[in-house]
A and B are shown apart, each in its own frame.
Chain A
């Protein structure tokens, strides 16, 4: 385990060190101490390494991540995992707004709650939240899945495309063109796998699926009020 003191060496040194790890690096386990809410911790990584950040993080932790597994041993600030391509981010506490925005792949797990705009414009990432998610989550989400063990806030999935939302609790309101959908066997199977991968103990049968009603895909003057 390599320990990196952010207070001592600074952010640029941290990110260039982590970004410099190759595919076959022997230094696969990293611990970052003195995070103190700093921004852009462990961004742009592209190696199968494990990074554990002690304390809470600021904006954009794990942004653009490929391959790496990043654990935040605290809460995470706005835009965590933004545009992630692959790999995994685990947040032990809560996540702030726009978690996983535009992210293309990989898995993000939140042990607490996620705030507003969770998964906004996501393009293939899977997000599993053990608590609740805030308003406008999944706004314009294009692909991927948001799995919520608690409740969802207002306007879930507004103007979404083909992303899927699985909510175990209540949904305060659905956004424009988002609707409740039937749970088919493949959805139960998917939930079983993703919940196991996320290490979350919940029954797939308890979730409800939501997704696009596909009425806003093409312009129709009768829908003008919904845009």
Chain B
């Protein structure tokens, strides 16, 4: 199954409540997938700065003196905020590539969850309620966000198998469904020099989108070509710097419900996920069409 929620705020007055609203939506979807949960939040941004969110299975070791070590290696002012197994590194935008390269040698056991000006991705094994509490998700503010709760079907229940998956700067992907050609696609991507870390099918889809965009496609074009190249069942929600997109495979058996008011656009795997939103009684509620790419942008 898996459960997806997404919230794109039009009304700025709701931004302080983004984390709280997304958490409530995601907890409602717990019975669609209790294995692991994750959330991508597009929060505040500072001119010239970027954020690198990393995860470690041994945070007490990897995050000890991380700021100092990284700062001296790449010669940049930066700050590190440690939250449970994740650390958000705030650094000058121009130093992002250098920082990622340095991390590989300084802290080889850390994994990059997300990178970009605004995005922060938090994900772990466990129930949405527990994951949200560990990372203090209800306190997060922002313009939009995506949440996912996983019922693993084709690969292990691990942090790296949890969603969202980063697909590039300020971009991420969540998935409900299963892809049947992910092994052949993984080999094809390997020949193109794109590495995929886990046996997870969604990570392959994320890598596919990244590869398409590196070769000049826009995210919309990458999703369109995915309709031809990705075989299987999927409802995808993608997060972008200024909004989110939705696409369902042509058969569209994986559920999706959208709601729109003057204040927000919301996505839920089921209507239940949306019932706590303000003004939902008068919202326009509909199901996205199959094989159609939708985007909402600020």
Contact = CB atoms under 8 A, between A and B. Distances in A.
B163 to A, nearest CB: 22
B30 to A, nearest CB: 14
A152 to B, nearest CB: 14
Contacts of A96: 255, 257, 287
B254 to A, nearest CB: 10
A134 B287 CA distance: 11
A58 B275 contact: no
B253 interface: yes
Contact of A37 (B251, B252, B271): B271
Given A77-B271, A97-B255, A135-B290, 10 more contacts: A37-B271, A37-B273, A58-B271, A75-B271, A75-B285, A93-B285, A94-B286, A97-B252, A116-B251, A116-B290
B270 A37 contact: yes
A97 B285 CA distance: 15
B272 interface: yes
Contacts of B270: 37, 58-59, 77
A56 B290 contact: no
Interface of B: 251-253, 255, 257, 270-275, 285-287, 290
Contacts of B290: 116, 134-135
Given A94-B286, A135-B290, A58 B272 contact: yes
Contacts of A78: 255
Contacts of A75: 271, 285
The 4 A-B pairs at the shortest CB distance, nearest first, are namely A37-B272, A37-B271, A36-B275, A56-B271
Q: Is the interface of A mostly helix, strand, loop or mixed?
A: loop
Interface of A: 36-38, 56, 58-59, 75, 77-78, 93-94, 96-97, 115-117, 134-136
Contacts of A93: 285
Nearest to B273: A37
Contacts of A135: 252, 290
A2 B106 CA distance: 68
A138 B257 CA distance: 22
A37 B255 CA distance: 13
Contacts of B257: 96
5 contacts: A37-B270, A37-B271, A56-B285, A115-B287, A117-B253
A134 to B, nearest CB: 8
Contacts of B274: 37
A56 B282 CA distance: 12
B193 to A, nearest CB: 38
Nearest to B276: A36
A118 B287 CA distance: 14
A94 B285 CA distance: 9
A115 B254 CA distance: 12
Nearest to A76: B271
A75 B275 CA distance: 13
B60 to A, nearest CB: 42
Nearest to B252: A116
Contact of B275 (A37, A116, A117): A37
A135 B290 CA distance: 9
Given A116-B252, A116-B290, A38 B272 contact: yes
A77 B273 CA distance: 13
A117 B253 CA distance: 9
Contacts of B273: 37
Nearest to A116: B252
A134 B255 CA distance: 14
B182 to A, nearest CB: 24
Contacts of A37: 270-275
Nearest to A75: B285
A59 B255 CA distance: 11
Contacts of A136: 251
A81 to B, nearest CB: 17
A77 B285 CA distance: 12
Contacts of B286: 94
